[in-house]
Amino acid sequence: MDNTRNDLVREDGPTLPGRRQVLRAGIALATASLLPPNMARAQAQTGQATNAATPTQSPLRSTLGGRRRLGSLEVSSVGLGVQNMSRTYQTTIPTRSEMLNIIRTAFDLGVTFYDAAEAYGPHEVERILGEGVAPFRDQVVIASKFGWNIDLETGARRLGLNSRPGHIKLAVEGMLKRLRTDRIDLLYQHRVDPQVPIEDVAGAVKELMAQGKVLHWGLSEMGPNTLRRAHIELPISAVQNEYSMLWRGPEEVVIPLCQELGIGFVPWSPLGVGFLTGAIDANTRFADGDIRKVESRFSPENLPLNLALMDLTKSWAVRKQATPAQISLAWLMAQKPWIVPIPGTTQMPHMLENIGAAAVQFTPAERDELNRSVSAVQVRGARLPDAVLAFSDVEAPRKD
């Protein structure tokens, strides 16, 4: 990607009303090179790319403003994951002002769904998101997560998980302060705590809802029986699990169960931790501290074999006049109308590219053809290290 566009909208330049003027010129440049050609042509014909942007009517809002539902919660068709805005996979520290630029430009372009967690940072990503969305807080959906055993005051990580009801309530109080808000629109249990009945977790969230501090709730990487029990106790709006062309595990049980129960699905790592963008090749090696270094699907033995999936995605990118990342995200959205990917990025061009996926459409025949081709590729290696996988598909104990 051409990183020279990272300065498309500088936070240390014009801000808010003046910042919108910067967008007038910058959006045309960005969309012409990063969005699918049919979208860029449509904007040029209608003059959208040169109209002034406002918080409620941005130059691309009519094009990228498709909405989807997670249960009863309405969000943009593509969200923005902010996990790495305090530290990237490569362990570098992004520039805070540029992270605010990305958050605010995403909103200008129609993104209304932002995903964070207390564990990201820990705590620091919530602070960045809270500052970023402050000018338009009431027009967006903020999702965050509790569940890891994190010191409520210092943010220090401790071993294991903690979903005790009292801890959940205190964790949410901290979230509200860091996010500069009075409510969490979508609160997930980040991982199932095998020591706490899910009924007790739901009870704590229900109390927070009664106080107006939480509006919707969900689970992440839970076992299917826990999902059923939680939904009976307190209706769930969304499940967040890893899901992409690189990892299709949720198709077996979780996605059918979400369809049965009327629950939305939010794929984390929808671009396969960068694999599906085309930025990784057979010679790629990962730095110490980058989780991909210890994921066997990216090992020197498996990576060259898994690139067959990337070759497939690139061929479809040519066919649909899009990019591999856009094909990968559009494929997710084509599976179900209630699937909302949340690609994360720390680079402005990548954010613009990702939200452009909303304009890539597949006919039913194309979707079926692509699904068959993806299924034919056998991905080698595990999606996560065993120590991390141990926290997935966990069933909560039953309440005595």
pLDDT at 3: 30
Cβ within 8 Å of residue 322, ≥6 positions away: 36, 316, 330, 356, 357, 360
Catalytic residue (choose from 114, 120, 188, 243): 120
pLDDT at 11: 28
120 is catalytic: yes
pLDDT at 91 over 90: no
pLDDT at 358: 95
pLDDT bucket at 14, cuts 50 / 70 / 90 = very low
pLDDT at 62 over 70: no
340-356 pLDDT tens trace: 999 999 999 999 999 99
Point out the least confidently predicted range of 151-160, 189-198, 360-369. 151-160
pLDDT at 71 over 90: yes
182-206 pLDDT tens trace: 999 999 999 999 999 999 999 999 9
| Mean pLDDT score of the chain | 86
Domains for the chain: give ranges and CATH numbers: 62-389 (3.20.20.100)
pLDDT at 25 over 80: no
